[in-house]
Structure 1
Amino acid sequence: MSRLQSVLGLATAALLGGTLLPSAFADPADSSPIDYSLRVDAAGETTSIPETMHGVFFEDINDAADGGIYAELVRNRSFEYDTVDNPSYTPMTGWSATSVGGAEGSAEVVDDAERLNENNRRYLRLRPNAHGRAAYGVTNAGYHSGMALERGEKYDFSVWARSDQPGGTPLTVTATDGSGSPVGRTMRVRVRGDEWTEYTTTFVAHSDTTTGRLRVLAHGSGTVRLDMVSLFPRETYKNEPNGLRPDLARRIEALNPGFLRFPGGCLVNTGSHESYQAPDWERRRSYQWKDTIGPVEQRPTNANFWGYNQSYGLGYYEYFRFAENIGAMPLPVVPALVTGCGENEATHDPQLLRRHIQDTLDLIQFANGPVDTEWGAKRAAMGHPEPFGLTHLAVGNEENLPEDFYEHFAKFREAIEQRYPGITVVANSGPDDSGPVFDRAWELAREQNAEMVDEHYYNNPQWFLENNRRYDSYDRSGPKVSLTEYASEGNRFYNALVESAFMTGLERNADVVRMSSYAPLLAHEDDPQWTPDMIWFDNHRSWGSASYEAQKLFGNNVGDEVVPSEASSTPVEREPISGAVGLSTWNTSAAYDDVRVTSADGRTLLTDDFSGDASQWSELTGTGDWSVQDGAYVQSDTGVRNTMVTAGDKSWSDYDLQLSATKRAGSEGFLVAFGVKGTGNYYWWNLGGWNNTRSAVQKTTAGSSETVLSEDTTIETGREYDIRIEVRGRQVTLFLDGEKWGSFTDEQRAEPFRQVVTRDNETGELIVKVVNAQDNPARTELDIEGAGRLASTARLTTLQGDPDAVNTAESRPITPEKSVVRGVDENFTHTFPAHSITVMRIKHEN
């Protein structure tokens, strides 16, 4: 996912405040059932479903790692925060100097030859002047509102320290609530000697707090140096040392994921590809696995792509262990030395490329190698002599430069296949579901006979209903698909409904789609960089979104093989594209002139040469600096996005829009809109979009956009362009400077009633999954052929609710309901409720 997608995701989520799409399928006032048929051929040819069909993708976004699933309670425990990570950071971020009993002193973060090690360079130098009961030191505030401490639970404190005092320096360590009152006994540590040594102690909390603090005070005088100050809950997931927050890990485990993809995402392939041993060690680096293993005090910190610091306390060993503990296939992602996520650069340094390829080979050895190999020995030293059983590895993530990426990918795969021929190497197709990058990436993947291609996309809810059959037409003999990042834009139950309708298509095409995962996985409520997200949390609670409940329902009811089935469709009338016209810009100043709209039969609907005023136009989005200048309509502000003004009638259809446009300044080109119904419903021709790298026609519905046509067209500054758009019914043809640029017919059907049927060989059950994403109940006649003897009852699990419902910390309106269906036979009728996801498990004997 890219920074631009993140901005758009937040913006479109804000626009989804009104009703979404369910009422598009029926009059809300008429909630009478619609009749459907569902035929199941239980004796037909089946398709096996891989265990990796539904998995999870973990990326350190939204504070998912530090302050999230990684159980460490101290923020900036090694004093490595810096403005290079975030402009608001200092080495004392999270810390404050603290004096008790009138003590004086100084607390300074230092980087000198006395450091703990070369990767952990900074430390805290305390110089107390504190005698008697007085003490001087620091207090850590934890993440966000503070540390969550629970009565009766044990917490382990540790610190690396050294003292220049002959008798040592006494430390007192206290966990407090937000007001400073202790929530556990005060711990005492005496730092002895002027060599770095780890000191540990433990306390039991005697009261609860969600605003906890950790106070570390020094007594006496002299100098005491502190580093890696840690407070860790004794209880972690599966009691792993340096482990995970149990509630979050268990929610992920409950999804029954078939794979765990890690550690990203955009943080994998952005930033410098140099190692921390390079002279410019303070620069942000791409995620490199060797930095994240071994003792935590020897792991460096890094500036996360998403705008904050990451400690690497949660590293590759911990990821492998987590995958093992939840029964998921590990799927690590390594950088391809071609950046993505808006940083479109390729590294053409043969030596650096060879080093990263060798690092990848070493990673496989770390995961699978015997204990007598270099990296297998390091794994064993960390506590896991047995191999992790790595079988799949992904190279790269969302690269926008397919030629460069596949040049590198071929070298990675050749080296891996030569040394480790059993490893599947996964490629990718960029950040979008279609377009020039996507098409070229897939073309190169086929040319190189790639085994698997990773697809990513985040689209509006309508897109997911329209693309249930996306993979029906994929080449069965070509590369397989791993869809490891997808979500519809929004966190409501309606989003879960449309995603579930889409997932029925993923399962139905299990011979092509071998892996899929919703993304992002985790989000701290106080600091999301991206929305929507699957699991939300604060410092002491966690809850699943509506999409989480849907993913869990599918993940626990996958089945072993797809059984042929066919459902009738929903009758929907297709009206012609209609709406007003619009002009807009995005981070660009542009001039428009000679606008003319004529109907298909030649009538003039609108004409404006801006020789007077612009009274025919009105602001739609309320941004931009529009004015008539020298006989043209000019938007002058290069710092604003979507400055749309509109003219005309929402009922217009079958018309031609003609105009001239000139880019004056800025980073992009023109946005010419048609079919404008309102703020969040229109089409536009985005010429010179994506920082003037390509052009596309985008369809926006309920505030969320999808690309329907894309070409590599860029826009020159100062050049006048002639633009013409012909709208006929649902067909649109676009002309640039008199030449046909492209055309499309918007005939995608948003089907709200979708199904897939699978079989669980162990239980002998048919698993009928049905999604009804509309206002009307679906009265369905089920015809089951070739199943032999059927049980007369079926187990039912249903998610049902208001399509606008959102699960929160305080309220979980979307939760599964279990029931029993009676009267099951070879032919029976069942009504699937409006706005529902249903799993029906029917026992049968052949």
Structure 2
Amino acid sequence: MTHGQRFDVLADASLGTASVSPTLFGLFYEDLNRACDGGLNANVIANHSFDGTYLDRRLHNELIAMTTKRRGRVARDPGRHWQVLKGSLEVLDVGGITPEARFGRLTIEDGRAVVRNGGYQPTGERGRAVIAATIGVDMVLSVWLRSHRFSGRVSARLVQPDGTIAGEVPFTLAEDARDGAWQQVSFPIPVSRTGRVHFEIELEGEGHLDIDEVSLVPADHWGAGDPRWSQGIFRRDLIETLAALNPKFMRFPGGCVVEGMGGDNAYDWKCTVGPLHQRRADYNLWGLRVADGDYSQSNQIGYYEFFLLCEDLGMEPMPIVPAGISCQFRSRECIRHNDPDFDHVRQDVLDLIDWATGDPADSSWAALRAEAGHPEPFPLKYLGIGNENYGTHYFENYAKIREAVRSRNPEIVPILSAGPFAQGKAFDATWEFARGQEGALIVDEHFYKSPAWFLSHADRYDKIDREGAQVFVGEYAAKSVTAKTEPNTFESALAEAAFLTGVERNSDVIAMTSYAPLLNNVGSRLWPHNLIDFNPETVMPTVNYEVQRLFGNTIGATVVPVVSDPPQGIFVSSIATSDRQYVKIVNTTNSPTVAELVLPAVSDGEYVVTRLSAELGAANSLTFEGAGESVLSPSDALVRVRDGRVRIEVVAQSIASLVATRAAPIP
């Protein structure tokens, strides 16, 4: 293409008839790359309850997962992530806060005992101080204590690697705790120094002190001061980064985590609601990619927190429930629809509906929600049945669960898995099954492909049957190929932008889209490409995030028909609200171009064009220790519309987005 080649675009918003899905852009969350504990979970104490459960890699690996069922997989290492500096620490199974809970018993030697926790370590490391402390932001400690013939003083403190005290609070136990009853102690620890710290508990005196449910949370966490946030707590900067995407739904808790390693490790939502000290931990199947299996799900963040977050950010919650079939990549386990055990699978789904939407006076599950601080029902419009499942057994199980859901709440829209691939016999069979279903239905498609694939499939949904099921692009990402060792390059982001113009063009039939995976703790990356990188102090969105933010914040209600014949490698879409029109132009070529836009429904005047551009191999960077570096920042320029016409220069390898005011707003 020659320098400055021009092409025409006619985008008349007054001719728009197809409706844009109100949930077109959203979030896919899975506890992968330590997205939760060590990330979203504001409690920075690793193995906070001595109930951490880990995968024993000596007993389980990918091959065993595919050929065996329900074998011993759990590593018993209840003291993991706790370091004894003085005295001794024993983890006990009997006599805890709840019958199933373990707890730590700290024993004084020579008048002192000190136990330390450094927080969530980078994968493969132990003992580092990685808890982030900031001057002016108190760290709020909550811990359950019980005396076992203990007399003396307790100190809680934050200690930098060189031994400097960054915060310390001494205290004594109340009478009932000294008499052998469990007592919850909570107070702020003022922070006097910024940096990474260990958390320590020191005893001075004699005897033994039992400790459990240790929580250390920054005082400026998400929802601080809101009584609804009574249990699990989110890290504020990560939530603010999610909120900036303007997401309209959130799919949770995964992902492969839904099915787990097998039926005994499938995600159990019931273990993630209720008081924190009653929640049961489990190992995370992604421990398969960690040499020592060191990946536990504490479940301090669970369904109550997910639903609350959706409420705070104005998102539709989309829980994904197991369908009785384990991950078909890793296991052959399947509870058939006519198996007596399947009643438990189905009942768990019905109990979830009761928990989220039921009346606390009529449902014990709804009462649990109310006790947490939310007596009003949560909305529940969408429900995913299975994750990346496919085949005859899945269809049979889906039908049974769908029948039960419909009988309990016929307004819930089911999500049908199309399996892990974007094409093939299993994929086609899913769509054939979907076409035979009655009522509203959304089919969940997943694909991780090269940038070239995304460019060539920007028209993927142009000819889809608009009378059948809608589409949920539930997991997708372009895998960069220009810089083989660097994921999330601008090459991949540009290809995704081109694909999203096709999504906007077909947003009457595409109900939802969500990039995956969402979050990556850079010290524990297990998946190459992710939307948002972070370390203990810093959040660094990727260049792909900026594309998602651009599209998510320029969403309309009506698809605007575009008449254009752009050069190869140029992609255009337009959508409108009652008073605005948005036009996006994606130039994936290595030459600049000029778009001559005809916008009959736009008022004359000056408008902003936002541009995103970078070298194809450019990528934002963040290390576990560093502050990060961004290679891409949106830039704005003014253009003038005269007589409904405007010229937009689109540089090579860039995205341009115009926001204009409609001449005759629709009431």
Q: Which runs of 5+ in 2 are unaligned?
A: 59-74, 122-128, 288-294, 481-487, 623-627
Which of 150, 173, 178 aligns to 1:192? It is 178
User: Aligned pair in 2 of structure 1 residues 341, 776: CA closer, same or farther (>3 Å)?
Assistant: farther
1:627-642 superposed matches below 5 A: none
Give 1 or 2: higher strand fraction: 1
Residue matched to 1:243: 233
Question: Following TM superposition, by how much is the alpha carbon of 1:168 offset from its aligned partner in structure 2, in angstroms?
Answer: 4.3
Give the conservation status (yes or no) of the 8 Å contact 2:26–2:247: yes
| Counterpart-to-counterpart distance in 2, 1:84 and 1:487 | 28
Which of 469, 478, 498 aligns to 2:459? It is 469
Letter aligned with residue 138 of structure 1: V
User: Aligned pair in 2 of structure 1 residues 355, 82: CA closer, same or farther (>3 Å)?
Assistant: closer
| Counterpart-to-counterpart distance in 2, 1:266 and 1:126 | 38
Q: Greater RCO between the two (CA within 8 Å, min separation 6)? A: 2
Give the conservation status (yes or no) of the 8 Å contact 1:781–1:830: yes
Question: Following TM superposition, by how much is the alpha carbon of 1:819 offset from its aligned partner in structure 2, in angstroms?
Answer: 2.0
SS of the equivalent of 1:174 reads strand
**Is 1:92 matched up with 2:79?**
yes
SS of the equivalent of 1:473 reads coil
Residue matched to 1:160: 144
Deviation readout 1:430-485 (Å, 9 max, x if unpaired): 00110121111221222234611111110000000000110112111111111111
Give the conservation status (yes or no) of the 8 Å contact 1:41–1:563: yes
1:410-559 superposed matches below 5 A: 410-449=399-438, 451-490=441-480, 491-559=488-556
Which of 194, 203, 218 aligns to 1:233? It is 218
Give the conservation status (yes or no) of the 8 Å contact 2:50–2:104: yes
SS of the equivalent of 1:217 reads strand
Which of 219, 235, 242 aligns to 2:204? It is 219
| Counterpart-to-counterpart distance in 2, 1:257 and 1:355 | 33
Letter aligned with residue 844 of structure 1: R
Which of 315, 333, 343 aligns to 2:320? It is 333
**Is 1:142 matched up with 2:119?**
yes
**Is 1:74 matched up with 2:62?**
no
Question: Following TM superposition, by how much is the alpha carbon of 1:86 offset from its aligned partner in structure 2, in angstroms?
Answer: 5.8
| Counterpart-to-counterpart distance in 1, 2:303 and 2:54 | 26
| Counterpart-to-counterpart distance in 2, 1:119 and 1:50 | 46
Residue matched to 1:812: 630
Deviation readout 1:474-529 (Å, 9 max, x if unpaired): 11111111111100013011111110110111111112100001011100111111
| Counterpart-to-counterpart distance in 2, 1:163 and 1:86 | 37
Letter aligned with residue 184 of structure 2: E
SS of the equivalent of 2:206 reads coil
**Is 1:42 matched up with 2:13?**
yes
Question: Following TM superposition, by how much is the alpha carbon of 1:67 offset from its aligned partner in structure 2, in angstroms?
Answer: 0.2
Residue matched to 2:72: none
Question: Following TM superposition, by how much is the alpha carbon of 1:186 offset from its aligned partner in structure 2, in angstroms?
Answer: 3.0
Letter aligned with residue 620 of structure 2: N
| Counterpart-to-counterpart distance in 2, 1:195 and 1:563 | 67
Larger Rg: 1
Residue matched to 2:625: none
Give the conservation status (yes or no) of the 8 Å contact 1:259–1:329: yes
User: Aligned pair in 2 of structure 1 residues 213, 338: CA closer, same or farther (>3 Å)?
Assistant: same
Letter aligned with residue 159 of structure 1: V
**TM-score w.r.t. length of structure 1:** 0.70
Question: Following TM superposition, by how much is the alpha carbon of 1:184 offset from its aligned partner in structure 2, in angstroms?
Answer: 1.0
SS of the equivalent of 1:223 reads strand
1:594-613 superposed matches below 5 A: none
SS of the equivalent of 1:43 reads helix
Letter aligned with residue 182 of structure 1: I
Which of 90, 105, 113 aligns to 1:125? It is 105
| Counterpart-to-counterpart distance in 2, 1:171 and 1:116 | 20
Give the conservation status (yes or no) of the 8 Å contact 2:490–2:616: yes
**Is 1:207 matched up with 2:177?**
no
Residue matched to 1:262: 252
Residue matched to 1:632: none
| Counterpart-to-counterpart distance in 1, 2:328 and 2:197 | 37
| Counterpart-to-counterpart distance in 2, 1:74 and 1:126 | 17
**Is 1:782 matched up with 2:597?**
yes
| Counterpart-to-counterpart distance in 1, 2:30 and 2:584 | 29
Deviation readout 1:242-298 (Å, 9 max, x if unpaired): 311111000000000010111111000123434xxxxxxxxxx11111000011111
Residue matched to 1:7: none
Question: Following TM superposition, by how much is the alpha carbon of 1:351 offset from its aligned partner in structure 2, in angstroms?
Answer: 2.9
Question: Following TM superposition, by how much is the alpha carbon of 1:808 offset from its aligned partner in structure 2, in angstroms?
Answer: 2.1
Deviation readout 1:321-346 (Å, 9 max, x if unpaired): 01111111111111001122512431
Residue matched to 1:755: 572
User: Aligned pair in 2 of structure 1 residues 424, 823: CA closer, same or farther (>3 Å)?
Assistant: closer
Letter aligned with residue 155 of structure 2: T
Give percent identity, aligned residues only: 34
Give the conservation status (yes or no) of the 8 Å contact 1:130–1:219: no
Residue matched to 1:302: 282
Give the conservation status (yes or no) of the 8 Å contact 1:54–1:517: yes
SS of the equivalent of 2:39 reads coil
Question: Following TM superposition, by how much is the alpha carbon of 1:229 offset from its aligned partner in structure 2, in angstroms?
Answer: 1.7
Give the conservation status (yes or no) of the 8 Å contact 2:269–2:302: yes
Letter aligned with residue 197 of structure 1: Q
**Is 1:347 matched up with 2:335?**
yes
Letter aligned with residue 504 of structure 2: E
Residue matched to 2:291: none
Give the conservation status (yes or no) of the 8 Å contact 1:40–1:757: yes
| Counterpart-to-counterpart distance in 2, 1:169 and 1:196 | 17
Residue matched to 2:35: 64
User: Aligned pair in 2 of structure 1 residues 89, 232: CA closer, same or farther (>3 Å)?
Assistant: farther
Question: Following TM superposition, by how much is the alpha carbon of 1:823 offset from its aligned partner in structure 2, in angstroms?
Answer: 4.3
Which of 379, 388, 393 aligns to 1:389? It is 379
Residue matched to 1:797: 610
Give the conservation status (yes or no) of the 8 Å contact 2:324–2:342: yes
| Counterpart-to-counterpart distance in 1, 2:200 and 2:297 | 23
Give the conservation status (yes or no) of the 8 Å contact 1:138–1:215: yes
Residue matched to 1:107: 89
Residue matched to 2:126: none
Give the conservation status (yes or no) of the 8 Å contact 1:270–1:341: no
**Is 1:116 matched up with 2:97?**
yes
Give the conservation status (yes or no) of the 8 Å contact 2:82–2:115: yes
Give the conservation status (yes or no) of the 8 Å contact 1:334–1:360: yes
**Is 1:772 matched up with 2:590?**
no
Letter aligned with residue 450 of structure 2: N
User: Aligned pair in 2 of structure 1 residues 48, 187: CA closer, same or farther (>3 Å)?
Assistant: farther
Residue matched to 2:159: 176
| Counterpart-to-counterpart distance in 2, 1:124 and 1:245 | 26
**Is 1:293 matched up with 2:273?**
yes
User: Over aligned residues, Cα RMSD in angstroms?
Assistant: 1.8
| Counterpart-to-counterpart distance in 1, 2:613 and 2:16 | 32
Question: Following TM superposition, by how much is the alpha carbon of 1:784 offset from its aligned partner in structure 2, in angstroms?
Answer: 2.9
Residue matched to 1:839: 657
Residue matched to 2:302: 315
Residue matched to 1:273: 263
Q: Which runs of 5+ in 1 are unaligned?
A: 1-25, 100-104, 275-284, 571-750
Give the conservation status (yes or no) of the 8 Å contact 1:537–1:543: yes
Letter aligned with residue 477 of structure 1: E
Deviation readout 1:637-668 (Å, 9 max, x if unpaired): xxxxxxxxxxxxxxxxxxxxxxxxxxxxxxxx
Deviation readout 1:1-26 (Å, 9 max, x if unpaired): xxxxxxxxxxxxxxxxxxxxxxxxx6
Deviation readout 1:537-568 (Å, 9 max, x if unpaired): 00100011000001000000011111100331
Question: Following TM superposition, by how much is the alpha carbon of 1:43 offset from its aligned partner in structure 2, in angstroms?
Answer: 2.7
Structure 1 stretch displaced more, 789-798 or 230-239: 789-798
| Counterpart-to-counterpart distance in 2, 1:483 and 1:124 | 45
**TM-score w.r.t. length of structure 2:** 0.88
Deviation readout 1:618-641 (Å, 9 max, x if unpaired): xxxxxxxxxxxxxxxxxxxxxxxx
